[in-house]
Structure 1
Amino acid sequence: MALQHNHLRPVTRFITDHNAEGLAIFNKDVPQTVSPKSIPTGDSFYLGYTATDIPIDLTTDLAAYKQHLSSDPVFTVPGGTALSVIDLVPGSTGPMHRTLSLDYAVVLLGAVELILDSGEARTLQQGDIVIQRGTIHQWRNASKTEWARMLFVLQESRPVEVAGKTLEQEFRFE
């Protein structure tokens, strides 16, 4: 699926590092511009950074991130974290899904509806945050004419257990 041009400011990242003298510098091994990938909804997905372990090993994290950049979109990293930005096409609706993760979601631009599988919903505005704790949910750009942008940080979680039942990762593409 081709990316739709959204006229939003490009996503850039600045990674800090150390020089041979131990002084802080900006890393030049990874481009500052984050290239978007299209996801099935037509939305644009930007992988801002990943870490493959906690605590993070700062001698291997850049190499692991570079590998994730060349793969399909990475939403969660086993044993680690993933930082991403998603630009939502006007009126787009993602699938109902559950990831086995603790997610921090922040609306950076626009209005986004969070719909839970119970039917409860909230319309989130710029600056609103959601702590997503392994529940089934869906994101919808509330505007039919304007793009929305969200920032996500996901950390893998243990399987979710409710009333003695283990809940699995799930995606409902309808």
Structure 2
Amino acid sequence: MTGHDESGKSVVVSDDTVAPQVPMLLAGSEFHLLWGADEPPRFPGEGSQPRWHSYFPPVGGFRFSFVTLPPGTAAADEQQLDLAEALADAEAKLPGLLAHMDPDAPGMHTTDTVDVGVVLQGTLILELDDGAEVTLHPGDTYVQNGTRHRWRNPGDTPARFAVFISGAHRTG
């Protein structure tokens, strides 16, 4: 991470490893929340992590993260899971994410964002309305323009993608 010192020179502020968020409700998934803000950045700045409050950004805000999805349809063992505890855990680790989920179609969600991503490892299926699907492989990119969608990993190894999310206006 870079920033500016007191005289305005560019400096390295940190070179840290970011631990993943691993919600018990999404067995095997990892979310590396790397950078984000709820408003546009201002420069010069010291390079510290801006404050942000929810997984998806508001208009003018942004997020950058890595997401790892396990192979197949890994799910938490519901018999071993306290649902209230798992929901609270997910909300604490990924604030606001579950509020965007379609309760009638697990994993489907719609956000007021533009998501720009690249697949880094594994195979991902991007599913849209009416079962339309696109299969993505390492190096493939996508732009998700506020559409209803879900992700699946059809492979036998974890799939990882990097995504930059920008808050957007929805007019209808």
TM-score, with length taken from structure 1: 0.70
Alignment counterpart, residue 129 of structure 2, candidates 117, 129, 143: 117
**1: CA distance, partners of 2:5 / 2:46:** 16
Matched residues in 2 for 1:123 and 1:63: separation?
34
Which of 34, 53, 58 is the aligned partner of 2:18?
A: 34
Instruction: Count residues with an aligned counterpart.
Output: 137
CA change 1:92–1:23 in 2 (3 A) is farther
**Partners of 1:156 and 1:60 in 2: CA distance:** 24
Q: What secondary structure is seen at the aligned counterpart in 1 of 2:3? A: strand
Distance 1:37 1:96 in 2: 20
Structure 1 residues 139 and 129, CA, compared in 2 at 3 Å: closer, same or farther?
same
Aligned sequence identity (%): 30
Match of 1:7 in 2: none
User: Is it true that 1:51 corresponds to 2:31 in the alignment?
Assistant: no
Residue pairs, 1:6-155, within 5 angstroms: 15-28=1-14, 32-39=16-23, 40-42=25-27, 43-54=29-40, 56-58=41-43, 59=45, 62-65=48-51, 68=52, 74-78=54-58, 79-92=60-73, 95-143=107-155, 145-155=156-166
Q: Which runs of 4+ in 1 moved over 6 A?
A: none
The residue type paired with residue 80 of structure 1 is G
Distance between the aligned counterparts of 1:77 and 1:63, measured in 2? 15
Question: Cα offset for 1:62?
Answer: 2.7
CA offsets 1:26-72 (integer angstroms, 9 cap, x no match): 113xx611111113322000111002213x2244873534xx4xx7x
Higher helix share: 2
CA RMSD of aligned residues (A): 2.2
Relative to total residues, which structure has the larger strand share, 1 or 2? 1
Q: Which has the higher contact order (CA 8 A, sep 6+)?
A: 2
Assess, with a 3 A threshold, how the Cα gap between structure 1 residues 129 and 60 changes in structure 2: closer, same or farther.
same
